[in-house]
Structure formats: C-alpha cells, structure tokens
Amino acid sequence: MTQKNVLDSFRLDGRRALVTGGARGLGRVIASALAHAGAEVAITSRTLEDATTAALEISQDSGRRVLGFEGDVTKAEAVRLLGDSVEAELGVIDILVNNAGINIRGAAVELPEDDWETVLAVNLKAPFLCVQRFVPGMCDRGWGRVINLGSILSVIGIAGRTPYAAAKGGLLNMTRVMALEWAMRGVTANAICPGPFATDMNKPLLEDPVKYKAFIDKIPMGRWAELHEIAGAAVFLASDASSFVTGSALFVDGGWTAQ
C-alpha cells in the first residue's frame, strides 16, 4: 500500500500509551511527545502527586487525555494492579515505553549487593514485568509497540557502571528476543539508546566540571543532548512510521557509539 503523506504515519491518534517514570526526565519528554502526536497517555511515578501533576501539565499543553498513576514497577503485583487501574481509567495500552531507570555508580568490587539488585530490578526486571502485563493484549489485538530505554551502556562500558551496564546490555538483548517472539503478531520491540542528557540521573556528572567535560570529549557532536532530542525517536518507534523496524537499537548519542 502506498502512503499519501509520510508524516501521517507518525500520528498516534487513537492510540494509548503508558510511559513508566513519565513524570520527570526523559520519560516526561517522551510522554509529552506521544501526546502531542495524538496519543492518550498514562504516566507512572512512585509518587502519585508527581504523576498527577505532570499528567495535568502535559494534558493542558497537548490537549490530549493524560493520566497519572502511582506505581513501583519493580514489583509484579504492583504492575498487575497498575495495569488494572490504567485499563479501567484510560483503556487498553497499545504503546508501552519502559523508561523508568536508575543508575548507582561505584567500583564493581565495592558495590553493595543491594545496589546491584536495585539497579537490575528497575532497569531490567521492570520492563519484563510490564511486558508480561501489557503485551498479551497487544498481541491479541494485532498491533503494539514496546520501546525500552537502553543506553550507550547497552553496547559499551564505562568504569564504575557495572550494574547499570549489565542491566542495559541485558535490556537490549531482551528487546531482540521479544521482537522475535512477537514478529508475527503486529507488535514491535525496539530500544532507544541515549547518550548523556542533563536529567536528575546525571547530577553527579553535571555538578562536576571535570566529569562533564570528559563526557563532552567523548561525543563527536561536542555537546550533551537537549532533552527534547529524545522525542523524535520515541514518536517514530511508537508509530506506524516504524512498522518494519523491530529488534533494533536507535542510538540518540551524538555519535558516541559510532566511534
């Protein structure tokens, strides 16, 4: 079938999206982008007030229905309940953005076991749990999008990032396996792999001029990303524009991993 106007294939009218960790940082930018592209959006935070406040602001800005939900996505029961609430209040989810993430830095031989478990739980287990809750419905309906927030650390190493790199590397390979499992069901799975964006997660780097500059030296474009620069990748992978793209990693990293 030929397309009249390619820009129409980026529209998300009639779709419903869930963005975990959508109240702040990259998740908020992604939630806003999906809403501006036409989707109705559910966002989650561990703090209900943060979720509802951000949802209201995104809704007022985009003119779309955006609802905030409380949820710790590392717990299977909480994810199941979150799914029930989202479906009751917004409807079934077509686009799942596994964005919630955490980074605890430290030398591999010194990092406490709890920190390892926390980082793996949020970055790797939570996407798995959310997929289990939301993707069966997508497969039944024959259309769906899963977007996992990987990282340049899905494919490279940086000293002091053992659990984060393990989780993000695992997340990218999990994305590939899921893409294969759903390839005949109309559901795609892809990863967005960002380079450095100035969010809360990177406070330790942003507050240290030496580390900040060291990162810039690694980026061929010679700068950190602007927050809005994640939006296009998310809308592309959430829409029909990416209908034949699955199991891919889209690097939004100013060329870091091209070297």
Ligand X SMILES: NC(=O)c1ccc[n+]([C@@H]2O[C@H](COP(=O)([O-])OP(=O)(O)OC[C@H]3O[C@@H](n4cnc5c(N)ncnc54)[C@H](OP(=O)(O)O)[C@@H]3O)[C@@H](O)[C@H]2O)c1
Chosen residue from 169, 194, 247, 254 binding ligand X by CB under 6 A = 194
Choice between 141 and 203, CB closer to ligand X: 203
The residues with which 69 forms a beta bridge, in sequence order, are: 44
Identify the helix (H) or strand (E) that includes residue 214. Answer: helix 209-218
Q: Does 101 bind ligand X (CB under 6 A)?
A: yes
3-state secondary structure of 69: strand
Name the minimum Å distance from CB 136 to ligand X.
21
Binders in 118-177 for ligand X, by CB under 6 A: 122, 149, 151
Q: Does 105 bind ligand X (CB under 6 A)?
A: no
Query: Which residue among 164, 197, 224, 251 is the active-site one?
Result: 164
Per rule CB under 6 A, count of chain residues that contact ligand X = 29
The residues with which 40 forms a beta bridge, in sequence order, are: 16
Chosen residue from 48, 166, 201, 216 binding ligand X by CB under 6 A = 201
Distances, alpha carbon 246 to alpha carbons 23, 174, 232, in Å: 27, 12, 17
Closest Cα to residue 30, out of 250, 254, 255?
250
The residues with which 145 forms a beta bridge, in sequence order, are: 95, 188
User: Which residue has 């609430």 as its token pair?
Assistant: 85
Is 164 among the residues known to form the active site? yes
DSSP state of 65: -
Closest Cα to residue 144, out of 86, 75, 210, 95?
95
Q: Would you state the structure tokens that stand for residue 69, as one six-digit string?
A: 């939900």
Name the minimum Å distance from CB 211 to ligand X.
13
Question: Which span (1-9, 18-26, 84-92, 155-163) binds ligand X, by CB under 6 A?
Answer: 18-26
Q: Does 99 bind ligand X (CB under 6 A)?
A: yes
Name the minimum Å distance from CB 46 to ligand X.
3
Q: Does 21 bind ligand X (CB under 6 A)?
A: yes
DSSP state of 87: H
Q: How many CA atoms lie within 13 A of 208 on its CB side?
A: 8
Name the minimum Å distance from CB 110 to ligand X.
21
Site string for ligand X, 23-62 (x = CB under 6 A): xxxxx----------------xxxx--x------------
Q: Does 104 bind ligand X (CB under 6 A)?
A: no
* Calpha distance 151→153 (Å, rounded): 5
Q: Would you please indicate which residues are annotated as catalytic (active-site) residues?
A: 164
Chain contacts with ligand X (rule: CB under 6 A): 20-21, 23-27, 44-47, 50, 72-74, 99-102, 122, 149, 151, 194, 196-197, 199-202
